[in-house]
Chain A
């Protein structure tokens, strides 16, 4: 996958996209707000000093591509996600599934979300094919989780990322029930809904999501649909990709290559 455009701006407080439209000249007000704590915290503290180019969320539309043929089930992505986002034990923003399939039977597992890799496994049947499938929030376009949020704490940004505003979320858990992919959970620490953000704090600084960064086989790829020559865009535009549970018409923005019908 390509690097981000060269001219991409230095760090910018973007963890709160709802605020991204604030005038750049209004530096004092922003610094005040940032020192109010939350934004500075989410943006890794870079917010106060930065007066560089603003991240323009109209200029991007992010998409994710998972080439399952390449996945070796090492679990680096799951560990990286946990480290990057402080995911509580026993909960997952991303995980890896292992499929062992024969024409007669199938077995699926994901021990500890694949975090520690996959121990060898004996099945009662003779698998004729096996593969790994990394999973994460699909950042659906027609997203049921945003639809059901009673207070609008879950929202979809203009650059196509589904986020939760942890300061508005009342922790009702409706979105957790509504997500068909099991991508959300109520964090036992914050008592609010949490999920994959495609590392929004990174992508708005021109970096890739942590899982994509560490994937040794380039199974996980991240790209910008608004860039004509983006490899992910090209793969989605020209390749035969599928999305998970397409019948539900949630229009996922995480696309899969080489997936089997056993995968939901």
Chain B
């Protein structure tokens, strides 16, 4: 039995939204964040992102495939999960999930197809037997790799990015809305919630890509592009600042207005969430990475490559923790306070082995990487040397400096 300080409504002592509901926004955050990185290249012409453009699209896709799982695992009746899609009740914020998810999945799959189409066809041509049949099927019956056709591919990718970016933002902003729209819960109910979720999604996405990019480059003995790393660090820093500003603003507003809610939220933050909010989310997760990225951004020119890479990796790792803590503090924190506004329950500790437990959460986090690995086997994420690297901007040939060395 959880311990209660003060008075909690007797039904308010249960944490019904468990670790899985923490994992859900964490994983969709990677989906949206990675897509933002692809869009920076395809849509906004940030050429520094070219080496990670394909990686981020693939990552967004792989995390997307897993995004619905934690929800499903959390349901009291998982076998009825499809009801949300079949008989949605549209006054519910949750009912939009099916539609948004399917739409975004479609966009990402199309974009993946257009980006890899040329290579799919070439692989089909080069191989025989089953492999040939597989790639021929993936090519969906068109084998045109003429420059004109590839040009159309590039334009399609651009259009899809333009549709995908708002969809990814919607998909994740909507997760924030699920919480922000609950007027019963003072710790959730704020219009800032979707925005905070979105910005922290960008943080987690970029941080994740910095890590994956550097790790895969090391493993594949490829050169880590300095301007890619510093550009990502810069954007990471930018999104970190916005995220933390918003997170703090929300609290400062409550405190300054000295609202009724503050009288329960302030003890929540300083007692129950002291470790996960103050230590993890704010100091270890925000302040330290802020300083590290500050160094990378401001003193970029003077940094040795190794130092820059190490600093960004450290900052990224900490930021992954920061975003996880933020999800935890929102989802779990909101359930530690009673709607009586008079009581807090003791901390929620998930078990290692249970349907919504720690082990499952770890599997959920690892699974997208496994999928990413399979993806890479089927559709190599590193563009083959000499292959036509997709150039979003049509005119210029791919700059030699930015294309990854083989």
With A109-B7, A147-B92 as given contacts, are A180 and B84 in contact (CB-CB < 8 Å)? no
CA gap between A192 and B178 in the complex, in Å: 20
Chain B, interface SS category:
loop
Interface digits, A185-206 against B, CB 8 Å rule (1 contact, 0 not)? 1100011100000000000000
User: Could you tell me if B76 and A152 are in contact, using CB atoms closer than 8 angstroms?
Assistant: no
User: Could you tell me if A248 and B77 are in contact, using CB atoms closer than 8 angstroms?
Assistant: no
User: Could you tell me if B75 and A110 are in contact, using CB atoms closer than 8 angstroms?
Assistant: no
User: Could you tell me if A172 and B94 are in contact, using CB atoms closer than 8 angstroms?
Assistant: yes
Stretch at the interface among A22-30, A49-57, A163-171: A163-171
- Flag whether A131 is at the interface (Cβ < 8 A): no
Interface digits, B339-354 against A, CB 8 Å rule (1 contact, 0 not)? 1111000000000000
User: Could you tell me if B89 and A177 are in contact, using CB atoms closer than 8 angstroms?
Assistant: no
Chain A, interface SS category:
loop
User: Could you tell me if B77 and A180 are in contact, using CB atoms closer than 8 angstroms?
Assistant: no
**Closest chain A residue to B8 by CB distance?**
A182
Interface size on B, as a range, is 35 or more
CA gap between A102 and B339 in the complex, in Å: 22
- Flag whether A43 is at the interface (Cβ < 8 A): no
User: Could you tell me if A173 and B83 are in contact, using CB atoms closer than 8 angstroms?
Assistant: no
Interface digits, A101-122 against B, CB 8 Å rule (1 contact, 0 not)? 0000001111011000000000
CB distance from A263 to the nearest CB of B (A): 9
User: Could you tell me if B339 and A150 are in contact, using CB atoms closer than 8 angstroms?
Assistant: no
**Closest chain B residue to A109 by CB distance?**
B7
CB distance from B174 to the nearest CB of A (A): 12
User: Could you tell me if B77 and A151 are in contact, using CB atoms closer than 8 angstroms?
Assistant: no
The residue that A170 contacts in the complex, of B77, B185, B340, with Cβ under 8 A, is: B77
User: Could you tell me if A185 and B11 are in contact, using CB atoms closer than 8 angstroms?
Assistant: yes
CA gap between A144 and B341 in the complex, in Å: 18
- Flag whether A183 is at the interface (Cβ < 8 A): yes
User: Could you tell me if A108 and B342 are in contact, using CB atoms closer than 8 angstroms?
Assistant: yes
CA gap between A95 and B13 in the complex, in Å: 14
User: Could you tell me if B10 and A176 are in contact, using CB atoms closer than 8 angstroms?
Assistant: no
- Flag whether A179 is at the interface (Cβ < 8 A): yes
B335: chain A residues within 8 A (beta carbon): 177
- Flag whether B80 is at the interface (Cβ < 8 A): yes
5 pairs, A vs B, C-beta closer than 8 Å: A170-B83, A171-B80, A177-B17, A183-B11, A248-B183
